Amino acid sequence: MEKALTALVQYPLIETKKVMNEPAKKNNLTWFNGYLTREDRERLHGHKGAVIWFTGLSASGKSTIARHLEKMLYDRGCSTYVFDGDNVRHGLCRDLGFSPEDREENIRRIGEMVNLYVDAGIIAIAAFISPYRRDRKRIRDLVGRDRFMEIHVDCPVEVCADRDQKGIYKKARAGIVKNFTGISAPYETPKDPALVIRSHREDPVESARQVLDLLETQEIIRVL
Q: Which residues are catalytic?
A: 130
The residues, any chain, with a CB within 8 Å of residue 15's CB and separated by 6 or more, are: 33
Question: How far is residue 37's CA from residue 41's CA, in Å, rounded to a whole number?
Answer: 7
159, amino acid identity:
V
Question: How far is residue 187's CA from residue 132's CA, in Å, rounded to a whole number?
Answer: 7
Q: Which own/partner pairs from 175-183 qualify as long-range (CB within 8 Å, at least 24 positions apart)?
A: 178/98, 179/97, 179/98, 179/99, 179/100, 180/58, 180/98, 181/57, 181/58, 181/129, 181/131, 182/57, 182/58, 182/157, 183/157
CA 110 to chain CA centroid, Å, is: 7
Residue 126 near residue 83, CB atoms below 8 Å: yes
